[in-house]
């Protein structure tokens, strides 16, 4: 009886911020585990790839910058990966739990099948206090990301046959940790790409760190490890409705090879009408100015050695070796028409992507 009266008194005293409480305590004893999405050798675990951007590289870069900023403010930060390694979603959650995570935050960048979506969004659990914590944390982060010029698409939830749809959220909350996915922007949309290019990953990381710190400050107490802390706030206010309900479509993040639980774009033909497709990305030789020269499906000259000369819409031309051209095509194979996707990109972007691949950065 006295315990219940104490809880009610505590909730009444903190009524203005109770909805924001991370199972109820202050900021700088917090343990935050950052999960840079995707990872692993080659492109299988790369996530979304839109030259010169590759998701697994971006998420690790942003996570390192967020970590530095949070640690400078006195927050304990751990990362599920610190290099380009493959890691399953259950193992990411297990690592976060073993680190004593009060918040488990998975960082991602988005893409969509039709390539026509923009904006920044956060996904959280549909259930109880996990929803309440994730909603307010996500809202705080989105406030900062939208200040960069991105459209805020809100904090969302999605259910699947096993509960929460996304594995990183399902496994994280299953181990007692408030867990969210931050989708920073759409790598395949020119507007979002322009913001990422002009602002840089430092601005995105600063937005994440500021949003996390503002949320932690709002909790007003000292954090003590997700699962144990959950019991201290069995009584919580009713969950607030999310700012935006989930869209009917599956979010379009390209999956890591490790699990189907990340957002995955459907393999489909691009929304913009493409020239009539042929049976392969390199068609049979046609008569041309030089002996032994053929053309690719969309007209790029191919010399006798198999080297392909690509000319972008601005008239810039670059010649790629046969092996380099095939590697570039492999990155967009999931769309069903890889060369068409290449023809939407500047030649300089393709060269940058290839250079990063050869230097081992991706």
pLDDT digits (tens, 9 = 90+) for 129-178: 999 999 999 999 999 999 999 999 999 999 998 889 999 999 999 999 99
pTM score: 0.60
Q: What is the pLDDT of residue 250?
A: 35
Of 170-174, 183-187, 210-214, 269-273, the least confident: 269-273
Strands (DSSP E) found in the chain = 31-36, 49-50, 53-54, 76-79, 103-110, 120-124, 152-156, 159-160, 163-164, 179-186, 294-295, 301-302, 308-311, 317-320
pLDDT digits (tens, 9 = 90+) for 285-329: 333 444 567 999 999 999 999 999 999 888 999 999 999 999 888
Span 12-233 CATH architecture: 3-Layer(aba) Sandwich (3.40)
State the CB neighbour count (10 A cutoff) for residue 123: 27
Who wins on pLDDT, 35 or 281?
A: 35
Who wins on pLDDT, 192 or 19?
A: 192
Quick one: pLDDT band at residue 338, thresholds 50, 70, 90? confident
Q: Cis omega (within 30 of 0) on the bond before 52?
A: yes
pLDDT digits (tens, 9 = 90+) for 198-251: 999 999 999 999 999 999 999 874 444 443 333 333 333 333 333 333 333 333
Q: What is the pLDDT of residue 15?
A: 33
The DSSP annotation for 134-177 comes to HHHHHHHHHHHHHTTTPPEEEEE--EETTEESSHHHHHHHHTT-
Domain map (residue ranges) of the chain = 12-233, 268-362
pLDDT digits (tens, 9 = 90+) for 85-139: 999 999 999 999 999 999 999 999 999 989 999 999 999 999 999 999 999 999 9
């Amino acid at each position: 009886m006295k315990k219940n009266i104490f809880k009610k008194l505590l909730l009444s005293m903190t009524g203005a911020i109770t909805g924001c409480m991370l199972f109820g305590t202050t900021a700088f004893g917090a343990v935050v585990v950052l999960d840079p999405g995707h990872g692993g050798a080659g492109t299988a675990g790369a996530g979304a790839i839109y030259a010169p951007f590759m998701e697994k590289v971006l998420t690790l870069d942003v996570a390192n910058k967020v970590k530095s900023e949070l640690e400078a403010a006195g927050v304990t930060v751990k990362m599920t990966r610190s290099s380009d390694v493959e890691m399953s979603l259950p193992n990411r959650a297990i690592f976060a739990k073993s680190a004593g995570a009060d918040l488990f935050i998975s960082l991602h960048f988005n893409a969509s099948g039709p390539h026509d979506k923009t904006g920044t969004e956060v996904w959280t659990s549909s259930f109880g206090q996990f929803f309440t914590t994730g909603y307010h944390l996500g809202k705080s982060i989105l406030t900062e990301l939208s200040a960069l010029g991105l459209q805020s698409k809100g904090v969302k939830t999605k259910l699947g046959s096993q509960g929460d749809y996304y594995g990183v959220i399902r496994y994280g909350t299953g181990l007692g940790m408030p867990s969210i996915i931050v989708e920073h922007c759409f790598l395949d949309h020119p507007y979002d790409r322009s913001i990422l290019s002009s602002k840089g990953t430092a601005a995105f990381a600063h937005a994440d760190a500021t949003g996390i710190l503002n949320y932690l400050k709002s909790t007003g107490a000292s954090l003590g490890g997700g699962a144990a802390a959950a019991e201290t706030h069995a009584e919580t206010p009713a969950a607030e409705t999310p700012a935006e309900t989930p869209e009917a479509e599956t979010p379009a993040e390209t999956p890591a090879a490790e699990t189907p639980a990340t957002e995955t774009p459907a393999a489909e033909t691009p929304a913009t009408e493409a020239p009539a497709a042929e049976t392969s990305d390199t068609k049979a030789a046609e008569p041309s100015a030089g002996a032994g020269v053929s053309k690719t499906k969309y007209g790029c000259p191919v010399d006798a050695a198999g080297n392909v000369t690509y000319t972008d819409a601005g008239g810039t031309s670059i010649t790629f070796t046969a092996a380099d051209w095939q590697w570039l095509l492999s990155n967009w194979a999931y769309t069903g028409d890889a060369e068409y996707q290449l023809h939407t990109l500047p030649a300089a972007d393709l060269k940058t992507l290839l250079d990063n691949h050869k230097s081992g950065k991706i």
